[in-house]
């Protein structure tokens, strides 16, 4: 495990790996976490599920927003609880996950799943963001940027910022949040003052037809699937928190508020324009240099922030699988892979399929992590548990993996009309507790 070198500048490369962050560095408050999570939430990739609820699910704007906020909020609640190990012990998420699924279970299953999930979302955000950058540059300056080189350059910049670590996240947030807020105001202003393809704000809001329940639950489930994977990464940043309360409320409030704004923009864009990207649509609806500049700046900032987070947490997952790499080398390798995957637009075009497939692994794993920490360990992460991680005495959680396998099969076999994300999570959680009781 690596140690932190002495500071030579205001921003330095973070070198803490799997070891605990010293108490003196745990100074981040709840409102700083809230700002970070709000900044991370409003981004191109996160518009997809609310937009798909309208485009594929046939839900109205209002019901699409309610559906996805419901699923996401439940996920954020679990994500916030799983920040406790990091906030209490100063350790990264994947190291803490060893206590829930066992040393080998975390190293060879949970961490690879999290690494792949982070890589996928990095690619989605980069590709979606690049589409925006190319379009907005063309609109504002009448200059065409080639897609692939632009995507690779942006991906490389974001991977480099993630290499710096948590210090970069905090400092960048202070500059980006005002720009994102201004961009959001600009987009809402454009929507409220113009009609898109003959559809106005009032006509979209007035659509109140009764939703199809199976569609409502499916897209709520899809939002849950997208965000519940955060239970295996929330401690990565929470390890710098002043306390568990600061970590919990900051992460929960920031995620919930940020996603609510995202759902409003994504679902409204789908309802009014039949597509998913509000940055692009609003930029096409205005000729104002000021509004275009604000929209462009917020689009760029949103992509950078979410991908710093994706690469940052993905690097720790890779480190937990290969501890000998050290924090810096694992971040470099993760960054290189992320840049490479960002050259495949298919990840956005087939988003619903990829999210559902990842969910087959993420949901059962997350269910075991949540039920073990909240129910079995009663939300505690003691010094004895930390000692077990160091000694590698807890090799594998057999009842946990039996439940994971059962939940994975259930997820794959259930038709989409049965909301496989929710059902698989519930069945896996209950199954784990039953298997654990039988194994005693």
pLDDT at position 4, please?
40
Helical (H) or strand (E) element with 102: none
* Residue 428 C-beta-side C-alpha neighbours within 13 Å: 32
Could you give the CA distance from residue 416 to residue 202 in angstroms, rounded to a whole number?
Answer: 32
- Contact in structure between 99 and 389 (CB atoms under 8 Å): yes
Band (11; pLDDT cuts 50, 70, 90): low
Of the ranges 84-93, 126-135, 284-293, 344-353, the best mean pLDDT one: 84-93
Cβ atoms of 88 and 102 within 8 Å: the answer is: no
For residue 8, the model assigns a pLDDT of 39
Quickly count: other Cβ atoms within 10 Å of residue 323's Cβ: 14
Residues 269 and 47: beta-carbon distance below 8 Å: yes
The CA distance from 51 to 46, in Å, is 9
Q: Which of 385, 376, 367, 377 is nearest to 426 (CA)?
A: 367
Better-scored residue on pLDDT, 40 or 83: 83
Nearest Cα neighbor of 54 from 168, 209, 194, 196 is 209
Domains of the chain: 23-350 (1.10.4160.10)
What share of the chain has pLDDT > 70, as a percent? Answer: 96
Q: How confident is the model at residue 42 (pLDDT cuts 50, 70, 90)?
A: confident
Cα four-point dihedral sign 165, 365, 374, 106: negative
pTM for this prediction: 0.87
Q: What is the mean pLDDT of the chain?
A: 88
Inform me whether the pLDDT recorded for 332 exceeds 80: yes
Distance CA 222, CA 220 (A): 5
- Asked if 285 and 117 touch (Cβ cutoff 8 Å), the reply is no
The answer to whether the beta carbons of residues 134 and 149 sit under 8 Å apart is: no
């Amino acid at each position: 495990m690596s140690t932190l070198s002495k500071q030579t500048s205001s921003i330095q490369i973070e070198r803490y790996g799997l070891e605990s962050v010293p108490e003196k560095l745990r100074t981040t408050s709840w409102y700083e976490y809230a700002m970070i999570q709000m900044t991370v939430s409003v981004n191109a990739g996160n518009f997809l599920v609310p937009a798909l609820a309208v485009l594929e699910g046939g839900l109205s704007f209002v019901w699409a927003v309610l559906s996805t906020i419901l699923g996401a909020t439940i996920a954020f609640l679990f994500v916030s609880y799983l920040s406790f190990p990091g906030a209490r012990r100063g350790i990264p998420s994947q190291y803490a996950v060893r206590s829930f699924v066992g040393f080998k279970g975390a190293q060879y299953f949970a961490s690879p799943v999290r690494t792949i999930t982070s890589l996928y979302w990095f690619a989605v955000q980069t590709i979606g963001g690049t589409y925006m950058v190319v379009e907005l540059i063309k609109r504002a300056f009448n200059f065409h940027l080639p897609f692939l080189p632009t995507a690779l350059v942006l991906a490389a910049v974001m991977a480099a910022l993630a290499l710096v670590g948590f210090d970069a996240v905090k400092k960048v947030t202070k500059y980006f949040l005002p720009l994102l807020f201004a961009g959001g105001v600009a987009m809402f202003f454009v929507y409220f003052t113009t009609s898109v393809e003959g559809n106005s704000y009032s006509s979209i809001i007035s659509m109140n037809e009764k939703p199809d329940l199976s569609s409502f639950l499916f897209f709520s489930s899809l939002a849950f699937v997208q965000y519940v994977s955060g239970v295996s990464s929330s401690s990565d940043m929470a390890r710098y928190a002043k306390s568990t309360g600061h970590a919990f409320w900051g992460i929960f409030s920031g995620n919930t508020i940020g996603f609510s704004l995202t759902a409003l923009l994504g679902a409204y864009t789908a309802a009014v324009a039949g597509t998913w990207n509000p940055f692009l649509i609003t930029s096409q609806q205005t000729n104002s240099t000021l509004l275009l500049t604000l929209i462009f700046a917020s689009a760029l900032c949103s992509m950078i922030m979410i991908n710093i987070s994706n690469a940052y947490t993905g690097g720790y997952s890779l480190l937990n699988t290969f501890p000998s790499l050290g924090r810096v080398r694992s971040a470099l390798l993760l960054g290189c892979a992320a840049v490479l995957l960002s050259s495949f637009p298919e990840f956005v075009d087939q988003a619903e399929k990829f999210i559902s497939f990842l969910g087959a692994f993420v949901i059962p794993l997350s269910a075991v992590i949540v039920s073990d920490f909240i129910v079995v360990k009663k939300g505690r992460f003691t010094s004895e548990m930390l000692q077990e991680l160091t000694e590698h005495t807890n090799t594998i959680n057999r009842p946990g993996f039996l439940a994971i396998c059962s939940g994975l099969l259930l997820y794959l076999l259930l038709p989409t009309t049965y909301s496989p994300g929710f059902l698989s999570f519930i069945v896996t959680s209950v199954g784990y507790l039953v298997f654990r009781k039988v194994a005693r």
